[in-house]
Amino acid sequence: MPLKNTDKTYGWVAIVMHWVSAIVVLGLFFLGLWMSDLDYYHAWYKTAPDIHRSIGVVLIGFTLLRLLWRSVNIKPTELLDSPGWQLTLARVIHGLLYTWFFFMFVSGYLITTAKGQGLEVFNWFVIPALITGVENMEDTAGGVHLGLACGFMCLVFLHAGAALFHHFVKRDNTLRKMLGQTPK
């Protein structure tokens, strides 16, 4: 498997980054839902949000690296036998997925920092609060963060559904390219 992308398949760096992102996004989503309902005396009540925030920040850094890597690589050739609207839809969803990482990060950051507290990342560094003093910003940002998370899952569903459709119905290389399998 090549390190960098070729016109036929993704390189292993892009593949690893893609699947790590996928696992982390799903993990953050379910961790986020689970931790919001924890009892105050639950052993994870304090730790789970600490981990959720920290991983979220690391993920945004990772995504920047991913976009950087994407920009210095070629894109494997799209399946030009698909209808034009499907190609357009795929591009739009890819664009939205990347954009969503940043919306999620910003809305989450604004919850934590709304009253001036910094966002601590694994006792490693602290992102200071920039915007404070906006009335009830933590509530607004919280609602947005949850809404966006559900939207993210809808996009993931469409994205994964399309990949499975290509793999099992159209039996083409779409998913194989992202699994490191030799193109047919």
Partner 1 sequence: MNALKPLWLSVALAAALTGVSSISAQAAEYLIDTKGAHAFIQFRVKHLGYSWLYGRFNEFGGTFSYDEAKPDASKISVDIKTTSLDSSHAERDKHLRSKDFLDTDAFPTAKFVSTSYKSTGAKTASLTGDLTLHGVTKPVVIAVEFIGSGSDPWGGFRAGFEGKTTIKGADFGIAMEKKLGPAAAEIELILSVEGVRQGDAAKK
* Chain contacts with partner 1 (rule: CB under 8 A): 39-41, 49, 111-117, 135-139, 142
Measured from the CB atom, is 61 or 143 closer to partner 1? 143
CB of 119 to partner 1, least distance (A): 10
CB of 104 to partner 1, least distance (A): 16
Measured from the CB atom, is 42 or 170 closer to partner 1? 42
Both tokens of 31, joined, read 């961790």
Measured from the CB atom, is 104 or 178 closer to partner 1? 104
CB of 136 to partner 1, least distance (A): 6
Q: What is the DSSP string of 13-56?
A: HHHHHHHHHHHHHHHHHHHHHHHHT--TTSTTTTHHHHHHHHHH
Distance spanning both ends of the chain, measured CA to CA: 15
Both tokens of 28, joined, read 């953050």
